[in-house]
Structure 1
Amino acid sequence: MNFLPSFLVLVCGVLCCNGAFSGLNFKGVPASFFQGEGPFVDTFITIKNGSLKGKVGSTIGNYKMYSFLSIPYAKAPIGNLRFKAPEPFEDAWGNQTRDATALPPSCPQFSPAISASNEDCLFLNVYSTKDPAVDAPSDLPVMVFIHGGGFTGGESTYYSGAKLLVNGGVVVILHYRLGALGFLSTNDEVSPGNYGLKDMVQALRWVQENVASFGGNPKNVTVFGESAGGAASIFMLVSPLAKGLFNKVIAQSGSALSEWALDRKPFEASQHLADLVGCPNRTSTEIVTCLRTVPWETLVEVAKKKEDDAYAKLDLGLGFVTPTIEPKLPGAFITEDPLTLLNEGEIADVPVILGATLHEGSYVLGLLYRAYLGPDGRVNDTQWMRNDLIPSLLSVFGVSELSGAGAISETTALAYMPGSTRENFTEIMPNLVDMMGVFFMKASTLKTADILSRRLSSVYLYSVEEFSKNTMWVWLFRGEDSPPINPGITHADDLMYIFPMPVIPSPTDTAFSKIMSGMWSNFAFTGNPTPSPSEQYPTWPKYTVKDQQYMRLNITSRVDVSYHSSWTPRGFVAH
Structure 2
Amino acid sequence: MTTLGPIRGKLVDDVTTGAFYYSFEGIRYAEAPVKNLRFKPPVPKRPWTTVLNATKPGFVCPQPEILHTKDQMSEDCLFLNIYTPANYYNKLLPVMVFVHTGNFIYSSGNSEPVYGPQILIRQDIIVVTMNYRLGALGFLSLCTEEASGNAGIKDVLLALKLVHSNIERFGGDPNKVTLGGNGAGSAIVQYLMLTNQSKSLFQRVLTHSASVLTEKYIQNRPRDKAISLGKELGLKWTDDDTLLQKLKKVNALDIVIAQEAINKRDPQSGFRISSPFSPTVENEGPTAILTRPPLELMREGLIQNIPIMMGYNNQEGLESFSELAKNPEIITKLNTHFELCIPADIAYPYGSVERRNLALQIKEFYFSCENITFVKVQNFIDLVSDTQYIYGIDKFVRLFKGRKTAPVFYYVFNGDDELNYYKIVHNITYPGACHDDDIGYLFLTSVTKPRHPYISFTTKYILEAFLHNLKQFMLTGNPTPNANINCWPDAGTNGYHLKSDSNNLAVFQRPIPKRLEFWDAVYDEYYSWSKYKGSCFCENNYNNYE
Q: TM-score, normalised by structure 2?
A: 0.85
- Could you report, residue by residue, the CA deviation over 1:206-257 in whole angstroms, capped at 9, with x for unpaired residues? 0111111001111221111000011111111102322221111111001111
Q: 1:282 Cα deviation (Å)?
A: 3.4
Paired residues for 1:68-83 under 5 Å: 68-83=24-39
Structure 1 match to 2:392 = 444
Q: How does 1:436-515 map to 2 (within 5 A)?
A: 436-456=384-404, 457-477=406-426, 486-501=430-445, 502-503=447-448, 504-505=451-452, 506-507=455-456, 508-515=458-465
Matches within 5 A, 1:101-500: 101-115=55-69, 116-130=72-86, 135-136=89-90, 138-156=91-109, 157=112, 158-307=114-263, 309=265, 321-344=277-300, 346-371=302-327, 374-375=328-329, 378=332, 385=335, 388-389=337-338, 391-394=339-342, 396-398=344-346, 400=348, 404-418=354-368, 420=369, 425-426=374-375, 428-456=376-404, 457-477=406-426, 486-500=430-444
1:520 and 2:470 aligned: yes
Contact 2:409 2:497 in 1 (8 A): yes
Task: Tell me which moved more, 485-494 or 451-460.
Answer: 485-494
Read off the aligned partner of 2:63 and give its amino acid letter: Q
Which deviates more from structure 2 when the two are superposed, residues 430-439 or residues 508-517?
508-517
CA distance in structure 2 between the aligned counterparts of 1:271 and 1:90, rounded to whole angstroms: 34
Give the distance between the partners of 1:549 and 1:260, measured in 2 at CA.
Answer: 26
Change (3 A) 1:465 1:317: closer
Q: Which amino acid aligns with 2:440?
A: M
User: CA deviation digits over 1:310-340, x for unaligned, max 9?
Assistant: 7799xx8967520110001112010000111
For residue 488 of structure 1, report the CA deviation from its aligned partner: 2.2
Q: 1:477 to 1:550 in 2, by over 3 A?
A: same
- Kindly indicate whether the alpha-carbon contact (under 8 Å) linking 1:238 and 1:345 is maintained by their aligned counterparts in 2: no
Structure 2 segments unaligned to the other structure (5+ residues):
517-546
Unpaired segments of 5 or more residues in structure 1? 1-45, 569-575
CA contact (8 A) 1:106 1:175 kept: yes
Secondary structure, aligned partner of 1:533: coil
Say whether the 8 Å CA contact 2:94–2:474 is kept in structure 1. yes
| CA distance in structure 1 between the aligned counterparts of 2:119 and 2:52, rounded to whole angstroms | 27
- Give, as a single letter, the amino acid of the residue that structure 2 aligns with 1:296: A
CA shift, 1:140, in A, is 1.5
Secondary structure (helix, strand or coil) at the match of 1:274 reads helix
Instruction: Report deviation, 1:264.
Output: 1.3
For residues 392 and 57 of structure 1, do their structure 2 counterparts lie closer, same or farther at Cα, with a shift above 3 Å needed? same
Q: How many residues align?
A: 498
Judged with a 3 Å threshold, the aligned counterparts in structure 2 of structure 1 residues 278 and 451 are, in CA distance, closer, same or farther, namely: same
Determine the C-alpha separation between the residues in 2 that align with 1:150 and 1:238. 20
CA contact (8 A) 2:470 2:479 kept: yes
Counterparts of 1:317 and 1:472 in 2: how far apart (Å)? 18
CA apart distance, 1:494:
0.5
Query: What secondary structure does 1:563 align onto?
Result: coil
Q: Secondary structure at the match of 1:182?
A: helix
CA drift at 1:367 = 1.4
In structure 1, the residue corresponding to 2:397 is in which secondary structure? helix
Pair 1:91–1:493, CA change in 2 (3 A): same
Aligned partner of 2:522 in structure 1 is: none
Shift of 1:281: 3.8
How has the CA–CA distance of structure 1 residues 248 and 392 changed in structure 2, closer, same or farther, with 3 Å as cutoff? same
Which of 479, 496, 505 matches 1:549? 496
Give, as a single letter, the amino acid of the residue that structure 2 aligns with 1:511. Y
Please report the TM-score for the alignment, with normalisation by the length of structure 1: 0.81
For 2:76 and 2:324, the matched residues in 1 are separated by: 35
Change (3 A) 1:413 1:176: same
Preserved contact between residue 26 and residue 80 of structure 2 (Cα < 8 Å): yes
Q: Distance in 2 between matches of 1:103 and 1:119?
A: 15
**Inter-CA distance 163–403: structure 2 relative to 1 (3 Å threshold):** farther
Identity of aligned residues (%): 26
Shift of residue 473, structure 1, vs aligned partner: 4.2
Cα–Cα, structure 1 residues 278 and 458, in superposed 2: closer, same or farther, change >3 Å? Answer: same
Shift in CA distance, 524/470, structure 1 to aligned 2, threshold 3 Å: closer
User: How many Å separate the matches in 2 of 1:58 and 1:463?
Assistant: 34
Looking at structure 2, the residues matched to 430 and 492 of structure 1 have their Cα atoms a distance apart, in angstroms, of 18
Give matches, 1:91-110, under 5 Å: 91-92=47-48, 94=49, 96-110=50-64
User: Aligned with 1:356: secondary structure?
Assistant: strand
CA RMSD of aligned residues (A): 2.7
SS at match of 1:416: helix
Report the AA paired with residue 451 of structure 1: L
- Indicate if the aligned counterparts of 1:266 and 1:319 stay in contact, CA closer than 8 A: no
**Structure 2 residue identity aligned to 1:548:** G
Post-superposition Cα deviations, 1:502-546, rounded to whole Å, max 9, x if no partner, equal 2314222233112212222221111111223388xx31100122x
Superposed CA deviations along residues 354-406 of structure 1, whole A, max 9, x for unmatched, are 111000011112213432xx24774xx9xx74x733x3221523153879545
> Partner residue of 1:56?
11
CA distance in 2, matches of 1:111, 1:449: 35
Give the 3-state SS of the residue equivalent to 1:223 in structure 2.
Answer: strand
Following the alignment from structure 1 to structure 2, what is the Cα–Cα distance between the partners of residues 141 and 317? 34
The answer (yes or no) to whether the contact 1:473–1:487 under 8 Å persists in 2 is: no
Query: 1:453 offset after TM fit, Å?
Result: 1.0
Question: Residues of 2 paired with 1:140 and 1:285: CA distance?
Answer: 48
How far apart are residue 471 of structure 1 and its match?
A: 3.5
Say which SS state the counterpart of residue 174 (structure 2) adopts. strand
Contact 1:208/1:218, CA 8 A, preserved across alignment:
yes
